[in-house]
Structure 1
Amino acid sequence: MINFNGNIVSENNNQINFNNRAFKYGDALFETIKIKDEAVVFCEDHYFRLMASMRMLRMEIPMEFTLEFFEAEILKTINANSGDENRVKFTVFRDAEGLYAPSNHKTSYVIEAKKVEIVVKEDYVVDLYKDFMINPNLLSTVKTNNKITNVLAGIYAQDNEFDNCVLLNTNKNVVEFTNGNIFLVKGNVITTPPLSDGCVKGVMRKNIIDVLGKNTDFEVEEASISPFAIQKADEVFLTNVIVGIQPVTKYRKKTFSTKVVSEITKLMANLG
């Protein structure tokens, strides 16, 4: 069952036709959200990121679209299913006619809930994806439906039996993984690319920066990262809200330890 504009319907019920702007132009945003112990993890962070993204894309935000409404609609969707779903995708799209220029800016939403296996892999091998690159601008920080570069990078990883790929921007700097933000560890310094380099404004990224920024054992910096810096790093890890923290064990000929990542994982354990 899915939630379409507040109505619980079968996912086989064709509520969205081929004229939908999310399908035709990628005119849509989404949040991937973790559910744990019947609660929406990082609910406020997801809500405020979605609101900021809708404003950036000049989508109309309905008056009833409050934080409480956002949370309630997600939980309603969970309750309409088996109740043990742990991954929710909340998609908002511009519900209007028109070509590139829409006839209005009204929005609709769809909420999907799934049960997925959340596994942090012991061996996690990654490589660089260089066929297509991310533009280093503010729009790239938003989770829109325009994710073809991530899709192609994912296919490249599958074809070459990698667990993931690192994406670059047009300045040839490291941006992120196909499905999460990237952090490098060198000594006690934790580095992640700045939003100005085009990485997604990740919810887990934000919380890790906040937590580590208060910990005197580590120094956190947002700085541009060259591909060569990956090979020089002591440790590398991926973050997203579903998996949390996934250590990287191998990049090309470099093998990484996971000692510091394990410490960071313990620090973040109570946050989801």
Structure 2
Amino acid sequence: MQVIYNSTPMPEEDVRLSLSNRAFQYNDGFFETIMMEGGRLRFWLDHQERMREAELALHLELPDCFWDGTLEQQLLELTQQNEVSLGRLKLQVWRAGSGLYTPQTNQVEWLATVQQAAPAPEEPIHIGVCQSVRSIHSALSHVKGPQAPLYVLAGIEKQQKQQDDMLLLSLQGYVSELISSNIYWVKENVLYTPTLDTGCVNGVSRRNILRYCLEQHMEVRELQCAVGQLAEAEAVFASNVAGLRAIASIDAVPLPTQHPLISQIRKALYL
């Protein structure tokens, strides 16, 4: 498998990382998961926007190649080199240098990898309410990576409870997000989703779904919501960059899964 390490294409077995690597030592960085389909990077401008936000939040200095078209071209070439037709790219970025908690530099190192992906399934999923951890709102909670251990623990609980996914609540007990997806619900032609202060990631698909609904002159509300209120919705669904899934039940409480908005969003953004 070919990868890109600090702008240099190479076989993955040639990548060598120091024991002082700050991603390993302190989780000092972030990542982006990007879908490639039809020779293009899906939602690329929104990924760039979120990388800018991560750069500011973590006090990093990302290289010019992230913004001038070079990185975009390199990622597309990486999918070609690995003969990937539908690709799931992962871009990992971390602060360079060593040091203790106080860094020596704000420059970064980065690694891009790609895997062949399957088309996102459309079957509804069954989820449980996570009891082991809760989403934590912070200056970093809107980007991907800094709070990853929370999602690892939620993933373990998902396995134990044999669910398709887990619903994380905020520290105040409000609906926040799924393990790797944002959550939405529809009622009386209004799209609802949790506010970012519940601790949810500011997902790239979230941005696109809210934008699409507003363009369709549909009312959008971001709010804090108790789990029980979801049972009153006409449909509840989750999304990430890979696709969109209706939610069929929460802790075995059934939910309706058919709504025209779900198919409209899927067709407009993912097909």
Which of the five TM-score ranges fits, normalised by the shorter chain? over 0.9
TM-score relative to the length of structure 1: 0.93
What is the root-mean-square deviation in Å for CA atoms of aligned residues?
1.7
Structure 1 residues 217-241: Cα deviation after superposition (integer angstroms, max 9, x where no partner): x421111111222233232111101
Structural mapping, 1:63-74, within 5 Å: 63-74=64-75
Q: Which residue of 2 aligns with 1:247?
A: 246
Q: Distance in 2 between matches of 1:256 and 1:180?
A: 18
Check whether the contact 1:22–1:145 (CA below 8 A) recurs between aligned residues: no
Check whether the contact 1:138–1:198 (CA below 8 A) recurs between aligned residues: no
Q: Distance in 1 between matches of 2:87 and 2:236?
A: 26
Q: Which residue of 1 aligns with 2:269?
A: 271
Aligned length: 269
What amino acid is aligned across from residue 153 of structure 2 in structure 1?
Answer: L
What amino acid is aligned across from residue 125 of structure 1 in structure 2?
Answer: H
Q: Which deviates the most, 26-35 or 245-254?
A: 245-254
Q: Which residue of 1 aligns with 2:83?
A: 82
Q: Distance in 2 between matches of 1:264 and 1:120?
A: 13
TM-score relative to the length of structure 2: 0.93
Structure 1 residues 215-269: Cα deviation after superposition (integer angstroms, max 9, x where no partner): 24x4211111112222332321111011x21111111242122222x43332442
* Residue 67 of structure 1, CA deviation: 4.2
Q: Distance in 1 between matches of 2:33 and 2:77?
A: 16
Check whether the contact 1:44–1:67 (CA below 8 A) recurs between aligned residues: no
Q: Which residue of 2 aligns with 1:54?
A: 55
Q: Is residue 2:194 matched to residue 1:180?
A: no
Structural mapping, 1:191-210, within 5 Å: 191-210=192-211
Q: Distance in 2 between matches of 1:85 and 1:17?
A: 32
* Residue 207 of structure 1, CA deviation: 0.7
Structure 1 residues 138-194: Cα deviation after superposition (integer angstroms, max 9, x where no partner): 321111243111111111111111000001111111110001100012232211011
Q: Distance in 2 between matches of 1:62 and 1:253?
A: 48
Structure 1 residues 62-111: Cα deviation after superposition (integer angstroms, max 9, x where no partner): 23432412211211211221132411011111011101111111101100
Q: Which residue of 1 aligns with 2:92?
A: 91
Q: Which residue of 1 aligns with 2:127?
A: 126
Distance 1:130 1:61, change over 3 A: same
Q: Which residue of 2 aligns with 1:222?
A: 222
Q: Is residue 2:235 matched to residue 1:231?
A: no
Percent of aligned pairs sharing the same letter? 28
Q: Which residue of 2 aligns with 1:147?
A: 148
Q: Is residue 2:161 matched to residue 1:160?
A: yes
Q: Distance in 1 between matches of 2:150 and 2:68?
A: 31
Stretches of structure 1 lacking an aligned partner (at least 5 in a row): none
* Residue 121 of structure 1, CA deviation: 4.4
Q: Distance in 2 between matches of 1:85 and 1:122?
A: 20
Q: Distance in 2 between matches of 1:173 and 1:253?
A: 19
* Residue 55 of structure 1, CA deviation: 1.7
